[in-house]
């Protein structure tokens, strides 16, 4: 197919624009994957932080209960009440942050009654201490019961945290892979786009040079033809002038003879 220069130029620009669009789309997709991976990493870190906060609040509650148990001073029960409110807020947050993981949801479902039971035993210890005194608490089994519950809670929360930690490792790996993909897309896409544009430029430049050369040769040929025609016309004019001169001379001679 004999394409005109204008068509070749249009195709070259179309290829360059298409390449830029493809690079932009690929880069945007890779960047979106990277952002999504980073979000999941942050999400998992928040889940671990919530679990750690829950365990910390339970320890604070236990510390407050122990302080009140030993002293009978109501001020020592303040950490217990504060921790109780924090645990009540942490549980819904933990459920929300692990909503994408059915296994974690099951672990949280089994953790919830454990937390409730441990808090109930703490409340019983405080109430018995307030009503019957220190000796009544010591004689009861509530302290040992509370220790057993606390050990179970630590184990269950450790299981939850370990599962989130494994998930965090996997999501960080995915995030790093997404970052590498984004960098490679931008780097190699840019190099490929530059190469395509250079090739298109070379092809168009050669095509333009060829067409200009053909046009120049046509002009040179036309110029030569015009020059030849002009020379012929000049020669004809000279011949006509010579003939006229001869006619004039002949007439002059005839007149002189007459």
In the prediction, which pLDDT does 172 show?
80
For the chain, which residues score pLDDT lower than 70?
1-9, 11-12, 204, 207-216, 219-224, 226, 228-231, 234, 236-237, 239-241, 243-244, 246-247, 250-258
**pLDDT averaged over the chain?**
77
Angle between helices 142-257 and 102-132 (to 10 degrees): 140
In Å, what is the CA distance from 15 to each residue of 143, 194, 206? 78, 11, 17
Q: What is the pLDDT of residue 249?
A: 72
**DSSP secondary structure of the chain:** ----HHHHHHHHHHHHHHHHHHHHHHHHHHHHHHHHHHHHHHHHHHHHHHHHHHHHHHHHHHHHHHHHHHH--GGGGHHHHHHHHHHHHHHHHHHHHTTT-HHHHHHHHHHHHHHHHHHHHHHHHHHHHHHH-HHHHHHSSHHHHHHHHHHHHHHHHHHHHHHHHHHHHHHHHHHHHHHHHHHHHHHHHHHHHHHHHHHHHHHHHHHHHHHHHHHHHHHHHHHHHHHHHHHHHHHHHHHHHHHHHHHHHHHHHHHHH-
Q: What's the pLDDT score for residue 128?
A: 83
Q: What is the pLDDT of residue 203?
A: 72
Determine the pLDDT at residue 215. Answer: 60
Task: Identify the pLDDT of residue 39.
Answer: 79
pLDDT on residue 236: 66
Give CA–CA dist 143/177, Å, rounded.
Answer: 51
**What pLDDT is stored for residue 136 in this prediction?**
80
What is the predicted pLDDT for the residue at 191?
79
Cβ neighbors of 145 (< 8 A, separation 6 or more) are 121
Per the CB < 8 A criterion, the answer to whether 208 and 71 are in contact is no
The whole-model pTM stands at 0.57
């Amino acid at each position: 197919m004999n394409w005109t220069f204008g068509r070749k130029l249009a195709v070259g620009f179309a290829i360059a624009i298409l390449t830029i669009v493809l690079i932009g789309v690929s880069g945007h997709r890779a960047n979106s994957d990277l952002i999504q991976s980073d979000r999941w990493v942050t999400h998992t870190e928040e889940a671990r932080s919530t679990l750690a906060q829950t365990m910390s609040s339970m320890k604070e509650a236990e510390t407050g209960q122990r302080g009140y148990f030993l002293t009978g001073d109501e001020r020592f029960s303040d950490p217990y009440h504060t921790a109780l409110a924090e645990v009540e807020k942490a549980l819904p947050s933990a459920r929300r942050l692990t909503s994408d993981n059915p296994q974690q949801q099951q672990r949280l479902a089994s953790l919830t009654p454990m937390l409730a039971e441990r808090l109930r035993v703490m409340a019983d210890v405080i109430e018995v201490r307030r009503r019957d005194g220190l000796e009544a608490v010591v004689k009861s089994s509530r302290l040992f019961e509370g220790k057993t519950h606390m050990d179970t809670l630590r184990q269950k929360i450790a299981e939850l945290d370990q599962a989130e930690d494994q998930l965090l490792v996997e999501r960080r790996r995915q995030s790093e892979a997404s970052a590498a993909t984004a960098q490679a897309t931008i780097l190699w896409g840019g190099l490929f786009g530059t190469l395509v544009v250079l090739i298109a430029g070379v092809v168009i430049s050669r095509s333009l040079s060829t067409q200009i050369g053909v046009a120049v040769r046509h002009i040179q040929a036309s110029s030569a033809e015009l020059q030849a025609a002009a020379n012929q016309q000049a020669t004809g004019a000279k011949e006509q002038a010579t003939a006229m001169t001869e006619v004039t001379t002949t007439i002059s001679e005839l007149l002189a003879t007459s």
